[in-house]
Structure formats: structure tokens, C-alpha cells
Amino acid sequence: MANKVAESISREEFFYGHKACAGCGGSLAVRAALKVLGPNAVSVLPAGCMSAVGFNFPQLCFSNNSIISTFAGTASMLTGVEAGLRARGYKDFTAVGFAGDGGTADIGIQALSGAIDRNDNIIYICYDNEAYMNTGIQKSGLTPFGAKTTTTPAGKNIHGNIRPKKNMFEIAAAHDIPYAATASVGYIYDFIQKMQKASQIQGTKYIHVIAPCPTGWGVAPDETVDIAKEVVDCGLWYLAEYENGTFKLNHKPKEFTDVSAYLKKQGRFKHLTDEDIQIITASRDKKWEFINKNFEL
């Protein structure tokens, strides 16, 4: 399965020459997604790292048509782009958005909810690096429990973020969206396949891809892909789809790898105590109880 995808993927590049940090997972997600959608993708990027590193006048680092939206307005601009091009008689294009976790789960959630409700024919990708990275690593609604950010510091009395990560994939699915999926840049073929599938479905599509940020996570640039794989293998993230009213699990690890090993290799979790790690492991197990009960394999 993997080879077929590797063979079919375009050698053309649509996102290059950008100024992302070495090892940026978000830029990997954008690059792979655009390779699937091709030159007729019209991308919308709100304020966030991918617009900051991709639009550097006079260098536009997208070779397809691309535009920056307001921070909150990714989905509403996608709606406008899709309707406008359709009204002008264009048929062969894909309106695709690339918004961060803050731009999706916090400030952009209302516009996204509206677009799903209207079932606009768009693909919305949330590249999740688990904090507001572009403005210096602040907590978002998708920052996991225990992570140290500049707004959730770690000290004697408080050990990083005290709130759990929002269930954004399930929130999108709860709208009865035609297609929603989770992914990780550590399982890039799975992501590419989901992009291909989304490009063939009519209506709103939501893909939530874990995209580590070495700068904010405190890992080396060459660890991005491994850490994005490990978060799935240790059960803190899962690869799933929602289609025709049904949740489907795409990958079930036979045995989870060590949560503690995953956490301890990242600067943002270095302060965690054994007790904190137990809390994280228990919430993983609770989540998997839900997944095993409600998701088809």
C-alpha cells in the first residue's frame, strides 16, 4: 500500500524556499498535501507559522495560488474562494486551508463550524504543533496536558498546562461532516492517502495532522518524523477517519510504546513527575476505552 502511494506522488514541489525552521513538521504537511492536490489547489493560510514562513515579499513560496486570511477566518475565506471561482466558471480546482491548532481549535472554530454546517466544498487541514508557535509558544486549546509553554510555565507548584487537549477531530465529526480524519507526519503515506480521499469527496473535509515543531517541543530537527510516529505508537494520538456517520480506526498498535520515553525526550515535558506521567497514561487508556468501544477497525 505504501509503495503505491510513494510511486504515485508528484515529484513537483508547490511549497519551497520558505523560511520554516529546520525540521518543521507543519511545512512537511503543507508540502505533502499540495503534492496530492497539484497546481490547481488554491490555498488559504491564516496568521500562523505557515503563512509567516511562506509569504515573504518578494518571494511567494507557494507555486499554486495562495492567499493569507485573517487569523479567525480560514474557513470563511475558503467558502468565498470556492464560491467565487465556481461563479466565474472554474471547475477544476480545490480550495484548501492550512491552519494551525490555535487558528483551528480556538479563534477559527466558529468559521469552521459554519463552513461544515453549510457543507461547503472545501478541504480544511489543521496542522497541529500543539501551541501558538509563530508568536513564541503560547498554549492553545490543542496543547496537551503537562506541556510547558510561555503561558503555561512549569515550576514548583504548577507543572505546565493543566487542561487536556480538545477533541477537535470528534468536534468536526459531530457536525456530521462528509469526511474527517486524523493523521501524523510520522505516518506520511497514511496522510497522503487521506488527502487523496478528501480530494474526491464532495462537501466539507477536515483533516487534523500532528506536525511537531522542534523549536517549541524541544527536540532536534532530525527527530520530527520519529516523534510524530512515536506519539501514535505510544497511544497519545491515533489515526482514524469519520465517514458516512461511522468512526473507523486505521491503525491499532499491538502494544503501546512507553509514554514516559515519548515525553521525556521533549524539552516541553522534561519537568513532569512520575505522578504527572501516570495522569497522562490514565487519560490515554480512558481515550482508548472510548475508541475501542466506538470506532470500527
Ligand X SMILES: Cc1ncc(C[n+]2csc(CCOP(=O)(O)OP(=O)(O)O)c2C)c(N)n1
Q: Smallest distance from the beta carbon of 24 to ligand SF4, in angstroms?
A: 3
Query: Phi, psi (5° rounding) for residue 110?
Result: -65, -45
What is the total count of residues that contact ligand SF4 (CB under 6 A)?
13
Residue 44 binds ligand X, judged by CB under 6 A: no
Residue 49 binds ligand SF4, judged by CB under 6 A: yes
Q: Which of 69, 76, 129, 193 binds ligand X (CB under 6 A)?
A: 129
Residue 209 binds ligand SF4, judged by CB under 6 A: no
Q: How would you classify residue 61: left for phi > 0, otherwise alpha for psi between -120 and 50, otherwise beta? A: alpha
CA distance 253 to 251: 6
Residue 102 binds ligand SF4, judged by CB under 6 A: no
Q: Which one of the spans 98-106, 115-123, 200-208, 273-281 is the region binding ligand X (CB under 6 A)?
A: 98-106
Q: What kind and span of H or E run contains 7?
A: helix 2-8
- Which amino acid is residue 260, in one-letter code? S
CB 32 within 8 A of CB 195: yes
Give the residue carrying C-alpha cell 469519520.
242
What is the largest distance, in Å, between two alpha-carbon atoms of the chain? 61
Q: Which residue is nearest to ligand X (CB)?
A: 100
Cα dihedral across residues 7, 232, 244, 125: positive or negative = negative
DSSP 8-state class, residue 126: E
Q: Which one, of 18, 112, 14, lies nearest residue 69 by Cα? A: 112
CB 139 within 8 A of CB 161: yes
CA distance 236 to 293: 17
Q: Smallest distance from the beta carbon of 214 to ligand SF4, in angstroms?
A: 5
Q: Which one of the spans 41-49, 80-88, 144-152, 257-265 is the region binding ligand X (CB under 6 A)?
A: 41-49
Q: Smallest distance from the beta carbon of 277 to Mg ion, in angstroms?
A: 24
Residue 26 binds ligand X, judged by CB under 6 A: yes
Of ligand SF4, Mg ion, ligand X, none, which one does residue 154 interact with (CB within 5 to 8 Å by kind)?
A: none
Q: In whole angstroms, what separates CA 269 from the centre of its chain?
A: 20
Q: Smallest distance from the beta carbon of 104 to ligand X, in angstroms?
A: 7
Q: Which of 14, 15, 62, 71 binds ligand X (CB under 6 A)?
A: 71
CB 126 within 8 A of CB 101: yes
CA distance 152 to 269: 12
Q: Which one of the spans 168-176, 214-222, 235-243, 275-283 is the region binding ligand SF4 (CB under 6 A)?
A: 214-222
Of ligand X, Mg ion, ligand SF4, none, which one does residue 135 interact with (CB within 5 to 8 Å by kind)?
A: ligand X
Q: Smallest distance from the beta carbon of 186 to ligand X, in angstroms?
A: 18
- Residues interacting with ligand X, by CB under 6 A? 26, 47-50, 71, 100-103, 129, 132-135, 140
- Residues interacting with ligand SF4, by CB under 6 A? 20-21, 24, 26, 49, 53, 129, 133-134, 213-216
